[in-house]
Amino acid sequence: MRLSLRQWVASVLVLTQLVHGALCWGKDDHYTVCKIAEGYFEEETIAAVKKLLPESSQGGGDLASFCSWPDEIKHLSQWKWTSAMHYVNTPEYRCNYQYCRDCHDSHMQKDWCVTGAIFNYTRQLMSASVNSESLVHYNLTEALMFLSHYMGDVHQPLHTGFREDQGGNTIIVHWYNSKTNLHNVWDDLIIESALKQYYNSSLPVMIQALQAKLMNGWSNDVPSWKSCQFNQTACPNQYASESIDLACKYAYRNATPGTTIGDEYFLSRLPIVEKRLAQGGIRLAAIINRIFSAKTKLAGA
């Protein structure tokens, strides 16, 4: 891998500070976000994505099957430096997020957080799309997989959580009868229970239900979900601000250390989780569509 000295040093530093628990949204969640996005790809996007994806008998041009890749590799020594890119934390239990204050890793390296990474990979894909001769020396396959993955992460409320509890990772609770941490409840357990109780333990059934809601209940909201202030290609700061707001209003509320979380919490939080999955998918599609239509627009202008 092409690691600069700075990255190498950072990766060694990250190695030495082991993180509590998982810091990633579950596999099902990333698959769902990307699967929903695929349904909204424009024609140029479908072609461009297919060209970029790794050839694999299994994947076959399906973005969703590559969306957990950043979680699979982040434990490998040459990729350790990416592990700070999956989240952003706010200091002093603040319920608001600010890029300049919050987007850094634990060694205060600027831009090393989930929103910084989304800006980074959007910029890389955009510059390659607009300028095909391209001074671009980045691996755009990786850029696409990182962008798609981090768009899921930034929509998980506790991936913009408090620094003091590592986004809920150090808050030990009981989820019904089993001991776990709050971060894991939001990464995996809410969705797992929903799959069992409402979707016949089938991820495709859940995805279909979300797609149906996007055509009905949420259809009026979709245009506003897609849009970014100032016509930016991506607006991750907005997504992170929403996440910390939801974290304060729903994730942390009634979930102090030692709490037993059951039906009441599950039933009131599930709609939030489902909406965030849908928003993540819609916005990922919007961003990738903007990236791959940029060239056509310039040529047509």
Ligand X SMILES: *[C@@H]1O[C@H](CO)[C@@H](O)[C@H](O)[C@H]1NC(C)=O
Q: What residues line the site for ligand X (CB under 6 A)? A: 7, 54, 111-112, 116-117, 120, 138-139, 141-142, 200, 230-231
Which pair of structure tokens corresponds to residue 291?
Answer: 């990236």
Distance between CA atoms of residues 19 and 251, nearest Å:
20
43, 117 Cβ separation under 8 angstroms = no
Which of 26, 106, 31, 18 shows the shortest CA–CA distance to 71?
Answer: 26
Smallest distance from ligand X to CB 235, Å: 12
Of residues 58 and 177, the one with the C-beta less far from ligand X: 58
Of residues 106 and 139, the one with the C-beta less far from ligand X: 139
Smallest distance from ligand X to CB 4, Å: 7
Smallest distance from ligand X to CB 7, Å: 6
Smallest distance from ligand X to CB 56, Å: 10
Of residues 63 and 255, the one with the C-beta less far from ligand X: 63
Smallest distance from ligand X to CB 141, Å: 4
7, 129 Cβ separation under 8 angstroms = no
Of residues 48 and 185, the one with the C-beta less far from ligand X: 48
Contacts of 94 (CB under 8 A, 6+ apart): 162, 244
Of residues 200 and 219, the one with the C-beta less far from ligand X: 200
Which of 296, 264, 273 shows the shortest CA–CA distance to 185?
Answer: 273
Contacts of 92 (CB under 8 A, 6+ apart): 164
Smallest distance from ligand X to CB 261, Å: 27
Distance between CA atoms of residues 273 and 15, nearest Å:
31
Of residues 142 and 165, the one with the C-beta less far from ligand X: 142
Which pair of structure tokens corresponds to residue 17?
Answer: 């500070």
Smallest distance from ligand X to CB 80, Å: 12
Of residues 206 and 277, the one with the C-beta less far from ligand X: 206
Residue 61 Ramachandran class (φ > 0 left, ψ -120 to 50 alpha, else beta) = left
Q: Work out the number of other CB atoms within 10 angstroms of the CB of residue 277.
A: 26
